[in-house]
Amino acid sequence: MAAAERRSGAESSRKVLGLLLAFDERRHTLTTAQLAEAIDAPLSSTYRYLSVLRDSGLLEESEVAGSYRLSFRVVGMARAARAAWGGVERLARPVLERLAAQTGETALLIKRSTTAAVCVDRVESSRPVRLQFDPGQPMALHRGSAARVLLSGMPARERADYLARLAEEVSHLPETGGRLPTEKEIALVAEEGWTQSFEEVDEGIWGAAAAVREQGRLVASIGVAGPLFRLDAGERERIITLVRQGAEEVSGAVDRML
């Protein structure tokens, strides 16, 4: 097969996957035009990619003409992903629900996937708040309290390599990286098992997170995030205490399950 044909095939595969990744909790039904824009493809090509996903049973047409949604076949894939991640999600869910109720803010469970932080579960605040940490969305490990907790649990060599790559990227595109944490700051997070962040991921948002451990090994972080305008110093301290207690509770449950 010619190199140009291989590149074309790989690009088509990326476009098909891009269609699936265009959907999330808020954008659960999308028009063909919206999907074409999401993958930067002409409508004619988008229709072709959509037919592949329809034939495989992963997408279906919605009641709205010209619109598509994920099929229930994707639910089985989500269950497989949860099973592969292990039992932390099941054990953490009631703690997340309690934290959201106690604080009135959004509670999250975050795990590390190689060099990214991924939200694997989230209980929404009953009050309006917009966070970038959507379920399944990969985020940088150095920004935000929940991600930084995960960064502190990386093996020292992996963490050093990750920070070195970030420093190189920021040196070329300083507007993309933000301030990088120092090794001393990360070591403090690792020692204390928790941290907080002010407007590091979303403007006006504060967050606190703590480590979930399995036999002493960091496997996830639990966090709460909300807008600063309704979280004074006293309320932030209260939430930090609740988050740390919640993380300890989940860690204990994980160890008892082993």
| Tokens encoding 158 | 């992996």
Element (H, E) at 30: strand 29-31
Note whether 186 and 179 are within 8 A (CB). Answer: no
Q: What's at 69, amino acid-wise?
A: R
- Dihedral sign, Cα of residue 85, residue 88, residue 93, residue 95: negative
- DSSP secondary structure string for all residues of 35-86: HHHHHT--HHHHHHHHHHHHHHTSEEE-SSTTEEEE-THHHHHHHHHHHHH-
Lowest mean pLDDT among 174-178, 191-195, 230-234, 239-243: 174-178
Q: 237 or 23: which carries more pLDDT confidence?
A: 237
CATH superfamily entry for domain 82-257: GAF domain (3.30.450.40)
Model confidence band, residue 175 (pLDDT cutoffs 50, 70, 90): very low
Structure tokens at 2: 């010619």
Tens-place pLDDT, residues 179-222 = 688 888 999 999 999 999 998 888 899 999 999 999 899 999 99
Average pLDDT over residues 54-58: 90
Taking residues 43-55, report their average pLDDT: 92
Mean pLDDT of 62-70: 88
CB distance 254 to 87 below 8 Å: yes
* Rounded Cα distance, 155 and 152, in Å: 8
What pLDDT digit, counting tens, does each position of 105-160 carry?
999 999 998 888 999 999 988 887 767 677 777 888 888 999 999 999 998 888 88
Residue 21 has pLDDT above 80, yes or no: yes
Distance CA 27, CA 8 (A): 28
**Domain ranges for the chain:** 3-71, 82-257
d(CA 66, CA 30): 8
Please tell me if the domain spanning 3-71 has the same topology as the one spanning 82-257. Answer: no
pLDDT value, residue 171 = 64
DSSP letter for each residue of 182-248: PHHHHHHHHHHSEEEEESSSSTTEEEEEEEEEETTEEEEEEEEEEEGGG--HHHHHHHHHHHHHHHH
* Whether CATH 1.20.58.390 fits 3-71: no
Percent of the chain with pLDDT strictly greater than 70: 89
If you average pLDDT over every residue of the chain, what do you get?
Answer: 86
Q: Which helix (H) or strand (E) holds 118?
A: strand 116-123
* Residue-level pLDDT at 169: 74
Rounded CA-CA distance 101/107 in Å is 9
